[in-house]
Structure 1
Amino acid sequence: MSAAPANGPLSVDRALDVLDAVAGSAGPVPAKALARRLGCSLSTVYNLLGPLTARGHVRRTGGGYVLGHRVPALYRAFQRQTGIEEDARELLRHVRRATGTHAYLSAVGQGRIAVVDSTLPVSAAGGPFAVGPDHGAHATAHGKVLLAALNRPARRRYLDAHGLPRLTDRTITSPERFEAELVRVRREGLAVSVGETDPAHTCLAVRLPGEGPDGSLRALSVSLPTADYPARRGELASVLTRAAAGS
């Protein structure tokens, strides 16, 4: 007899784990591979895949499971609610054309920071500034500029929840030093992270004025090889500042 998944929050967590595992795979994922990855029985995985498939969140193919037709609709709703309309996409494209570097739109809301859109091609995967939740935001320029914009209680809640883990030898891990860094960001209106997430990458960011439709604060940023940063800092800062002022 097939085992039913646990009721309540555990069942929801497992279903979301399945969805995340499918989304994080390079290609179709067989149910057996999902069971191994999640550490649960094959019957449990099939019980979870059933409603996900029926609702269109995943789709079964000959090689395994892939994301379903419902996902693009969810992403379009996400773009609408976070303000990623054509104006925001054009802003990213403008910065990309002006600098030759990839540009990113990030947001903070409900105690989370995420990169919500970028000029990276759809085929690009991974990297320190990939679209998605940013669990190392304290070490990124967009994370710094967004945390600097929060009031102190909200910022403390975020840092209490996520901490200041060391990602490279340049990551700021001292709360006192980090607060001093945010004071500088507020004063200059520009945040910089030189190899704090990945030694090979540097990013610069400014805050966009106003809020997204969902009340989130947003940031515009670019990334480039750390070796190129000293010669290009002034140019990139100028492009970002002008782009944000005109948005």
Structure 2
Amino acid sequence: MSGPQSVDRALALLDPVADAAGPLSAKALARRVGCSLSTVYHLLGPLTARGYLIRGPQGYAPGPRVPFLHRSFQRHLGAGTAVAALLPHVRRTTGAEAYFTAYRGGRITVIDTTAPLTDSQNPFVPGLETRAHATAHGKALLASLSRAERRRYFAGHGMARLTERTITDEERFEAEVASVRQRGLAVSVGETDPAYTCLAVSLPGRTDHALSVSLPLADFRRRQGEITSLLTLAAAAFPAASE
């Protein structure tokens, strides 16, 4: 096995390792990617040597090269020191978890967040956002696109119903993004998770970047005005051209 197929198989090994709760054995990886054990060992060698994976007594886990890639990923999408300072500030002032999200190349990605990695209850986590139609940050970013661009986006990602509040109709979503543009604020009340609300605003001069917060629905109902004001002020103070 060589060429593109080999590269594809090697990359396919990284996903189950990343998704697993703990290390995975070579045999488990072979079952998950559907190839022979000898092929898996052949591919694990260079991935381990280059630091993308590490091998321990229990199996394979993400390696020391991964944090470097993540930092590089953040930097390329505009999450520099200004964002690193912004998110904790928003967390302190609002008492809600804060997020930085970007649109690029037809994809929406949560780049960084103040939510602890151990918070398994929080429905908004770093990584590719496949539920943009149901999240405030997704609405804020999609509102900056043309209708034709939104149609292309949804042709590739769909509009799955996640809760009874989720908007799954294109015309209703168009009315929603029109409201987002008018108010300068996107809100998702229980559309992704019935227990959570999120609010988002675009950053100054960067309609492809969004700042958002999430909080339990009960807290939102009690503090809606306060949270909206604090989020808007934080975004307005962000430099229009960050590193």
Give the shorter-chain TM-score range.
Answer: over 0.9
Give the deviation of 1:125 after TM superposition: 4.4
What is the SS of the residue equivalent to 2:43? helix
Give the deviation of 1:124 after TM superposition: 3.5
TM-score (norm 1): 0.91
Give the whole-Å Cα distance in 1 for the aligned partners of 2:122 and 2:19.
Answer: 14
What is the SS of the residue equivalent to 1:149? coil
1:228 aligns with 2:219: yes
Matches within 5 A, 1:207-246: 207-211=202-206, 217-246=208-237
Relative to 1, partners in 2 of residues 1:28 and 1:80: Cα closer, same or farther, differing over 3 Å?
Answer: same
1:99 aligns with 2:90: no
Residue equivalent to 2:79: 84
What is the SS of the residue equivalent to 1:37? helix
Structure 1: which amino acid aligns with 2:231?
Answer: L
Aligned match of 2:23 in 23, 28, 35?
28
Relative to 1, partners in 2 of residues 1:126 and 1:40: Cα closer, same or farther, differing over 3 Å?
Answer: farther
Structure 1: which amino acid aligns with 2:32?
Answer: R
Residue equivalent to 2:160: 165
What is the SS of the residue equivalent to 2:123? coil
Stretch deviating more after TM superposition (135-144 or 202-211):
202-211
What is the SS of the residue equivalent to 1:59? strand
1:50 aligns with 2:12: no
Stretch deviating more after TM superposition (41-50 or 185-194):
41-50
What is the SS of the residue equivalent to 1:220? strand
Residue equivalent to 1:135: 130
Q: Percent identity?
A: 60
Residue equivalent to 1:178: 173
TM-score (norm 2): 0.92
Give the whole-Å Cα distance in 2 for the aligned partners of 1:134 and 1:13.
Answer: 22
Residue equivalent to 2:199: 204
Give the deviation of 1:40 after TM superposition: 2.5
Relative to 1, partners in 2 of residues 1:29 and 1:125: Cα closer, same or farther, differing over 3 Å?
Answer: farther
Residue equivalent to 1:111: 106
Residue equivalent to 1:15: 10
Give the deviation of 1:67 after TM superposition: 1.0
Structure 2: which amino acid aligns with 1:153?
Answer: A
Structure 2: which amino acid aligns with 1:234?
Answer: G
Q: How many residues are paired up?
A: 238
Structure 2: which amino acid aligns with 1:181?
Answer: E
Give the whole-Å Cα distance in 2 for the aligned partners of 1:201 and 1:13.
Answer: 37
1:154 aligns with 2:149: yes
Q: Deviations over 1:81-119 (max 9, x none)?
A: 112112101111111001111000011100100110000
Aligned match of 1:191 in 181, 186, 189?
186
Give the deviation of 1:19 after TM superposition: 0.7
1:69 aligns with 2:64: yes
Gaps of 5+ in 2: 239-243
Give the whole-Å Cα distance in 2 for the aligned partners of 1:76 and 1:30.
Answer: 28
What is the SS of the residue equivalent to 1:66? strand
What is the SS of the residue equivalent to 2:198? strand
User: What do you get for the CA RMSD once the two structures are aligned?
Assistant: 1.6
Give the deviation of 1:210 after TM superposition: 2.5
Give the whole-Å Cα distance in 1 for the aligned partners of 2:217 and 2:121.
Answer: 18
